[in-house]
Amino acid sequence: MTTSLSDSLPSSVPKLDTTGLNWAIFSVHFQDAIEAKGFWGHFDGMTPRPMAITITAPDGTVTSTVTPEEAQWLKDERLAKSLLTQKIPDLTLMCVHSKTTIKDRWDTIVTKYTEKGAYAQTELCTKFLESKCPNKGNICEFLGSLRVKKEELAKVGVDIGNKDYLSTTCLSMDVLHNPHNRGGKSKEEDRDEAMSVVPLLKGKVEAKSGGSKRRDHIECWTCGKKGHYQNKCPKANSSEKGKKKKANDSLKQSSSVNAAETDDEEEGA
């Protein structure tokens, strides 16, 4: 190989975390950088070591001569090892240092960290999906932190789907149904605060998922029935109309009584 190669990797390649949490994103960045430098054949075995030239003397003595191709391969192999060493934890380096080729070292790391990474990501994903708004916490601040956490997880290869995100958002606000967790707020205040946020989140998710209009899982906080929001509740609307009608009737009745009393006073005078 005659390509001029640098002996360091760009800062865009993160250092592999000991826990394996960033294995997915690390392996992608690392492979891209190594391929750009022309070394990936050493890691996957597609660039094998060239055969040495063997010469047998008349007296039977056998000597091996290193060809220019083999010399270049050995140089590239050493540089590939150096690049890998820069981005792995010291403990991992000590575990693979006894491996003679970069391919053997890389295969060992892939096997070990694929398992560790999957476990770490599953644990983080589960923790995210079980997120709950703390007692007496601010719903808006909590939902904001949840969105930031989703983006942070995406950076290390943990993808929280839109469906799971919306489900977690709704379930995390179960605290609103507990009167001991409202931090001095009235039930109506908590509902208004939640209602101002949930439709926005739902709209963003529906926009990305094709605008789904199913509302079977929605439960009204006024009548307890499913299929509509509180502000679309027929019972609430009819109740409001009833209250207005009752108020108007009371006002009319009061006006009639006052008018009658005025007439009686005028007749008495």
pLDDT tens, 163-218? Answer: 888 888 887 765 555 555 444 445 455 445 444 544 444 554 445 445 444 556 66
63-73 pLDDT, tens per residue?
Answer: 888 899 999 99
* Contacts of the segment 76-82: beta carbons below 8 A, 24+ positions apart: 76/1, 76/5, 76/39, 76/42, 76/47, 77/42, 77/49, 77/101, 77/102, 79/5, 79/7, 79/39, 80/34, 80/39, 80/42, 80/43, 81/105, 82/7
Kind of pairing between the strands at 62-65 and 53-56: antiparallel
C-alpha–C-alpha distance, residues 74 and 100, integer Å: 12
Q: Which two tokens stand for residue 207?
A: 């926009």
Domain residue limits, the chain: 1-129, 133-211, 216-242
Segment (H or E) for 53: strand 53-56
Q: What is the pTM of this model?
A: 0.56
